[in-house]
Structure 1
């Protein structure tokens, strides 16, 4: 069985992370989903995540095969939410820029990666975790809902199609 773990991303991981984002962009485009079809997420966003120590990578047998950002809120884009809205007012963490390499697609590593991020949030004292994705991104929604998140409504970002489905997990 391969060694699989999550760690903080480093500057040396940037080429692998950008490759994963490129894979995800192409995969979304092939599905007719316009999420990530512009320049975002770009290398400056990844570099900022690494500089702020918010990037996490999923490593399998020494190779970076996943990337995400685990960020302490609040998120200005989460202030407005149409729908049922957020549950509670506790401090929260967000998961952004979550993607897996095309090399591991179908191996169910996204669920494992998400579980690792949630465990880190819990260890750090956060019981509220939030995430958003494009309404057509059924695969990401499957990962989100499969990890216990609940749909809370629609939030609005700065992208060409700003509406995103928003989800929340309140851990006990």
Structure 2
């Protein structure tokens, strides 16, 4: 992991989510959605990400949960699948293996504690250990905390995707 000051990083444990984690993970998303809406960030809602999307991610073995002690700190999906909007990206990594981060969500009660940074560093280390050459993702431009996080970690914009909620930045980081 690309650590410069390990003392500032939260203590998290990671594991692939299981179906018995579904209720906890759903609460993480519902709480974060309410928090984002209260701050005028209309990225997610009751339609997406929904419980069935999360359940399918778990069934496929692509949903991960991070815990701070016993408290669920965050959830995210990691795979190499993308929808057709990703064709709009001017990707640097054309043929090498890559991972795509989907639906990264930090527990609203634990935000502003470095958890998002720590998770992304963890994902990057996992990707390197699994021979990936880059990480891709899409980010809602109005979610200024997320866009600042990705920029600070060295992710660059490669294009624009248009979804139901509007335009999203396509981003990539070469590892």
Above 0.5 in TM-score? Answer: yes
Counterpart CA distance in 2 for 1:74 and 1:136 is 21
Counterpart CA distance in 2 for 1:9 and 1:146 is 28
3-state SS of 1:79 partner? helix
Contact 2:93–2:133 (Cα < 8 Å) also in 1: no
Deviation string 1:28-82 (CA, Å, 9 cap, x unpaired) is 211212210241101111111111111111111122210000011354220124x
Alignment match, 1:55: 63
Trace 1:60-139 onto structure 2 (pairs within 5 A): 60-81=68-89, 85-90=90-95, 91-139=97-145
- TM-score normalised according to structure 1 size: 0.89
Q: Which one of 130, 151, 155 corresponds to residue 149 of structure 1?
A: 155
Say if 1:127 and 1:88 are closer, same or farther in 2 by CA, change over 3 A: closer
For structure 1, the 5+ residue unaligned runs are none
Alignment match, 1:39: 47
Contact 2:141–2:169 (Cα < 8 Å) also in 1: yes
Extract structure 1 runs of 4+ deviating beyond 2 A. Answer: 73-77
Counterpart CA distance in 2 for 1:146 and 1:122 is 19
- TM-score normalised according to structure 2 size: 0.87
RMSD of aligned residue pairs (Cα, Å): 1.7
Equivalences, count: 166
Contact 1:6–1:116 (Cα < 8 Å) also in 2: no
